[in-house]
Structure 1
Amino acid sequence: MKQLSTQAFAAYLDEAREKIRAWMPLSVDKPINFGHQFVVQLASCKATVNIYNGKKGLNPVYSGDSALVAKLQEALGGGATADSATQQVADTAIDGLYAGSDESGKGDFFGSLVVAATVVDGTTAAKLQAAGVKDCKLLTDKKILELEGIIKETVVDFSVLELKPPIYNMRYEQVLAQGGKLNQLLGFGHVAALSQVLSRQQDCHQALIDQFTTSTVNLRELERRFPDCRVRQMPKAESNLAVAAASVLARAQFLRTMDELAVQAGEEELPKGGGSAATECARRLARKLGKEALRSFVKLHFANYQRL
């Protein structure tokens, strides 16, 4: 369904609200980014539908208890599904080839920024699902590294691009000097990773980006390069197996580089994230190796660096 006007979307939500209430009371009824959320709950079980209304059309995404999801879909007349417990593919019936991209390291003070893209079809998506592929945030580091090889052997195509700290810092300074911000650097990564796989898989006419910005610049650039490919961006897009597989590949590469940097730093392990442990580790390395050496280990624009 095409994107609705504000007034038409409000009318659509009113109708959806009444359909759900005719079946069960709503426990949550609220606006969310780019759409609206309805939640129903029965005892400890609940189901959610996020209804997105964007330039690529109206897109209901379901999650939660499978029985309640089925009832919720029936009440609203169907739609895309995503099991929140397993973060399975949002478009369960993939028609032809489908590409997806995601990044890792964006919120980590130490380590690189990695962007990956994969291309799947219905057969490979089913194999990935059976192997346990899902959003990397729902997996242990050990499982991520185990799944990396399976994904690379299973998907139709993949691309993994990495900016290690020295290059990342140089590129970030260049983007900043041109008036850009981190999202622009992220956008370059997603466009580059998807461009690699789409240029090789010219029969792929659908691509999905895990949304990190409301800007459509990246979509327009990809559609300019690949006019036969419909490119979308969506919050929590890891519910799609192409994006989920990309998230695992990106995180696996990030983890390997973190291990390499730990050896270079003479540390048993480098802290992930951007918390106080990361700041204290950087302070220790600055005393041991000199503050300038941190350029090879951390992202200099993080507030952690300013605290040193």
Structure 2
Amino acid sequence: MIILLNKNQLASAKKFYIDYLVAKIPPYALFSAKKNGTTITGYLSGKVLFQGTNAETEGAALSKFFGLKSSETATTPPLANLSLLGSDEVGNGSYFGPLVVVATFAEEKMLPTLRKLGVKDSKMLKDPEIKEIAQQLMTILPYKTLVVTPKKYNEYQQKFNAVEMKVLFHHHVLTQLAKELPVKPAATLVDAFTTKASLTKYSKTHNLTWPQPFYFVEKGEQQHLAVAAASMIARKLFLDYLEQDGASLGLPLPSGAGAKSDLVAAEILRQGGLDLLGEHAKLHFANTQKAEKLM
């Protein structure tokens, strides 16, 4: 939960939590406090962030103190101009090829450069453009990748469902990159691939702690260039893998999960059966059964 305050109100909010203040505060913050299982952080921008089990209750109490209306609070603050850690994945909907998860860190000072390069939601660009821009991004941005090959994906799929896997993979690249950064990001943003309830469920199951402040929102590529950059790098790595894998197999591997994938899968089955197909495709897709029928 977020409450927006002016400069004077922010100073008063610090006094409001005088008995609960903690010594360590994040960058760009005026204060941080812990009360009733909730962490309250007041940023110099005027945003007061509530995180924890009683976030809504604490947020309502401070709102009441200042006489704020509900319309003056928000669940997600403006993020576009912050130094932000973001992640996205590509390949989830493709039968062939890997699942690629990428995290990037885009500092505020780098945002004009990213805009000039043409970084945006990868769905708005053609693949050749994405590959060209992504190649440049990989030389100027800190990033961390996880390329889950089809063979490894199929092994994970025996233990975890698709959403659970992505929770684990996003957490891995984000936390690994966060450890290597010389500065703490102002926030972390993940492009939402499931409901917040599912994210919370699997985070608890695997005891995962996400870099804070943490946001999980739909169309994350449009919220911040860090997520858009992660999406573009992931798309490039996915396409490169698909091309190289197809070349080694002697068959062009299509992206997606359409009828072309069924035909190619049927040919792979003819050449080496399900074991060979499992090295190149995500076997739990319905394409596997369709290819077997084509056989």
Normalised by the length of structure 1, the TM-score is 0.65
For these two proteins, the number of residue pairs brought into alignment is: 222
Is the Cα–Cα contact under 8 Å of residues 223 and 230 in structure 1 kept in the other structure? no
2: CA distance, partners of 1:288 / 1:212: 35
Question: Aligned AA for 1:263?
Answer: A
1: CA distance, partners of 2:109 / 2:206: 26
Question: Aligned AA for 1:292?
Answer: D
| Aligned 1:88-99 pairs, distance under 5 A | 91-94=79-82, 97-99=83-85
Q: Note the aligned Cα RMSD (angstroms).
A: 2.9
2:156 is aligned with 1:171: yes
2:25 is aligned with 1:2: no
Is the Cα–Cα contact under 8 Å of residues 191 and 219 in structure 2 kept in the other structure? yes
2:255 is aligned with 1:284: no
The match for 2:111 is 125
2:123 is aligned with 1:137: yes
Query: What do residues 157-205 of structure 1 show as CA deviations (whole Å, max 9, x unaligned)?
Result: 1101111111111111122xxxxx1100011110001011111125124
Question: Aligned AA for 1:213?
Answer: T
Normalised by the length of structure 2, the TM-score is 0.68
Question: Aligned AA for 2:79?
Answer: D
Is the Cα–Cα contact under 8 Å of residues 85 and 105 in structure 2 kept in the other structure? yes
- Flag structure 1 segments of 5+ consecutive residues without an equivalent: 4-53, 58-75, 80-89, 176-180
The alpha-carbon deviation at position 265 of structure 1 amounts to 1.6
Q: 1:237 to 1:222 in 2, by over 3 A?
A: farther
Runs of 4+ in 1 over 3 A off after TM superposition: 54-57, 218-227
Is the Cα–Cα contact under 8 Å of residues 97 and 150 in structure 2 kept in the other structure? yes
SS of the residue 1:270 aligns to? coil
1: CA distance, partners of 2:204 / 2:151: 30
Question: Aligned AA for 2:217?
Answer: M
Greater gyration radius:
2
Is the Cα–Cα contact under 8 Å of residues 167 and 203 in structure 2 kept in the other structure? no
Identity of aligned residues (%): 31
2:288 is aligned with 1:302: no
The alpha-carbon deviation at position 223 of structure 1 amounts to 10
2:184 is aligned with 1:203: yes
| Aligned 1:55-134 pairs, distance under 5 A | 91-94=79-82, 97-134=83-120
